[in-house]
């Protein structure tokens, strides 16, 4: 009982200290958080009328029922899945330089999943009825509905990517060895789950024969290939920024290794795209309509055409850059490549995937969807939320990982006054 109370007290102390850590920082840190909070506030203010009046305040219509929100959702699921590209080299192949940042990569995946889920919430007409989907109290249509599957796997993946890094960080904080029997199975399980979230999200579209554009077997492989480019690209940029502002240990070798893996993934992505192009254009059946709308316009409607060509070109240039070790192993070209990939894959896997599925609609009508400012600002708000979550997680995780914030240090600074027992964890 005494031991239990001491554990609770120590846990509480740990929380208080992390909170103190989060609330103290440099001027840049405060400014960055303030900026994100402002964008979040604008997003929230834009969301209120959508919540009160309905989705009529967006540019979506019966012809195109999913727009910018679901585009961002799809892209972010891919980004989250990409943490596996750090986990595999770190834990399976014991590649040291990556192992040092893998915990941060997992927290990055957790932040992405939270953003993805927020985008679903923003798109959902009746957020108040979300509990209808909870198993047990609601009526989840499992296993029939892929959306039910998606909710399950995304939440499991989110839990994994919170439990694993938090456990490892707490252990590091107290200077203890992690229990391998507990954590290794979880880490191994997170690998198929990463593939799983993106496969299930692909199947969500794939399983609709009403939409020939999505009803292609290449969809899930294309999803995975592009995800293994976009996620790591963001990680590479984010970690360089962190290296600039914090004491994070990060070798360039780790970044170059990730870039090499990205080159393979981008090759597959472009190859799958080519396979799809060949099948559609050589067969030239009526089911090519959506692809035509995307790449060359259909009956004079071509809102997406410039976007997709810019996106495809970006992916192509990035691939060529990453193909040559000279280019991918120099930070300037590496970063250019990463930015090209982030933008290129966002176009391809976001609006470039979701919108053409609805154009033309099943009865042949064409409605050209372009998001309005409300949708844009709500989306910015959600991105800012994700950035803030990631920033705060890093604010605690990096000092722990670098040994700057630890229990031992705390005890040194403030010896316990008269207490016999110390930390038990």
Partner 1 sequence: MQDKPYTRREFIRHLSLAALTGLSIPLLSSCGKEQVEDFLQKHFLEMTRQEKEALITRLEERYLKKYGRRFKVSTQEAIPDTLWGYGLDLSRCIGCRRCVYACVEENNSSRRNPQSQWIRVIRLKKGSLINLEDSEHYYNPEQVPEKGFLYIPVQCQHCEEPPCVKVCPVHATWKEPDGLVVVDYNWCIGCRYCIAACPYRGRTFNWAEPSVPSDKWNTSVHYLGNRPRMRNIVDKCTFCIQRVRMGRYPACVEVCPTGSRKFGNLLDPQSEIRYVIENKRTFRLKEDLRTEPKFYYFFEA
Interacting residues with partner 1 (CB under 8 A): 53-56, 60-62, 65-66, 123-126, 128-134, 136-141, 144-148, 151, 204, 207-211, 286, 289, 357-358, 360-365
Q: Output the six-digit token pair for 201.
A: 């999200």
| CB-nearer residue toward partner 1: 4 or 373 | 373
DSSP class of residue 144?
Answer: T
| CB-nearer residue toward partner 1: 251 or 361 | 361
| CB-nearer residue toward partner 1: 136 or 306 | 136
Q: 57-74 burial by CB neighbour count: b if 16+ within 10 A, else e? A: bbbbeebbebbbbbbbbb
Q: In which region does residue 367 sit, left (phi positive, over 0), alpha (psi from -120 to 50) or beta (all else)?
A: beta
Residue 54 C-beta: closest distance to partner 1, Å: 4
| CB-nearer residue toward partner 1: 311 or 357 | 357
Residue 115 C-beta: closest distance to partner 1, Å: 18
| CB-nearer residue toward partner 1: 73 or 108 | 73
- d(Cα 135, Cα 309) in Å, to the nearest integer? 43
Q: How far is CA 150 from CA 84, 216, 278, 348, in A?
A: 18, 19, 30, 21
| CB-nearer residue toward partner 1: 151 or 238 | 151
| CB-nearer residue toward partner 1: 33 or 382 | 382
Residue 346 C-beta: closest distance to partner 1, Å: 21
Residue 278 C-beta: closest distance to partner 1, Å: 22
Instruction: Return the residue matching tokens 């039910």.
Output: 148
Residue 132 C-beta: closest distance to partner 1, Å: 4
Residue 55 C-beta: closest distance to partner 1, Å: 5
- d(Cα 53, Cα 123) in Å, to the nearest integer? 14
Phi and psi at 273, nearest 5°, equal -60, -45
Residue 59 C-beta: closest distance to partner 1, Å: 11
- Can you say how many angstroms the Cα of residue 109 is from the centroid of all Cα atoms in its chain? 5
| CB-nearer residue toward partner 1: 58 or 269 | 58
The residue among 420, 238, 415, 414 whose CA lies nearest residue 339 is: 238
Residue 63 C-beta: closest distance to partner 1, Å: 8
Q: Output the six-digit token pair for 105.
A: 């990569």
Contact 336, 236 (CB under 8 A): no
Q: What is the 3-state secondary structure (H, E, C) of 265-327?
A: HHHHHHHHHHHHHHHHHHHCCHHHHHHHHHHCCECCECCCHHHHHHHHHHHHHHHHHHHCHHH
């Amino acid at each position: 009982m005494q031991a239990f109370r001491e554990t609770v007290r120590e846990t509480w102390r740990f929380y208080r200290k992390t909170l103190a850590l989060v609330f103290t920082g440099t001027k840049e840190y405060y400014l960055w958080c303030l900026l994100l909070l402002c964008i979040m506030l604008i997003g929230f203010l834009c969301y209120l009328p959508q919540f009160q009046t309905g989705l009529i305040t967006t540019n979506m219509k019966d012809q195109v029922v999913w727009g910018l929100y679901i585009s961002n959702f799809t892209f972010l699921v891919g980004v989250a899945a990409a943490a596996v590209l750090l986990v595999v080299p770190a834990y399976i192949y014991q590649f040291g330089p990556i192992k040092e940042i893998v915990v941060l990569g997992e927290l990055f995946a957790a932040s992405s999943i939270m953003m993805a889920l927020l985008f679903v919430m923003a798109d959902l007409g009746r957020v108040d009825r979300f509990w209808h989907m909870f198993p047990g109290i609601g009526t989840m249509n499992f296993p029939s509905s892929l959306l039910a599957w998606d909710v399950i796997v995304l939440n499991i993946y989110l839990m994994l990517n919170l439990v694993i890094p938090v456990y490892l960080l707490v252990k590091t904080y107290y200077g203890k060895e992690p229990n391998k029997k507990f954590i290794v199975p979880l880490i191994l399980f997170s690998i198929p789950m990463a593939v799983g979230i993106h496969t299930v999200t692909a199947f969500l579209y794939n399983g609709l024969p009403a939409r020939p554009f999505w009803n292609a077997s290449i969809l899930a492989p294309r999803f995975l290939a592009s995800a293994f480019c976009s996620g790591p690209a963001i990680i590479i940029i984010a970690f360089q920024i962190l290296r600039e502002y914090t004491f994070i240990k990060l070798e360039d070798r780790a970044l170059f290794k990730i870039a090499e893996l990205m080159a393979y993934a981008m090759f597959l992505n472009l190859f799958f795209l080519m396979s799809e192009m060949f099948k559609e254009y050589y067969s030239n059946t009526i089911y090519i309509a959506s692809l035509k709308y995307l790449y060359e316009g259909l009956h004079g409607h071509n809102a997406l055409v410039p976007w997709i060509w810019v996106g495809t070109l970006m992916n192509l240039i990035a691939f060529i850059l990453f193909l040559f070790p000279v280019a991918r192993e120099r930070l300037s070209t590496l970063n250019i490549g990463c930015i090209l990939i982030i933008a290129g894959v966002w176009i391809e896997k976001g609006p470039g995937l979701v919108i053409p599925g609805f154009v033309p609609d099943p009865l042949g009508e064409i409605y050209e969807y372009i998001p309005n400012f409300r949708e844009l600002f709500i989306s910015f708000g959600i991105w800012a939320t994700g950035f803030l979550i990631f920033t705060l997680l890093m604010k605690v995780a990096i000092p722990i990982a670098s040994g700057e914030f630890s229990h031992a240090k705390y005890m040194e600074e403030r010896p316990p006054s008269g207490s016999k027992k110390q930390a038990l964890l």
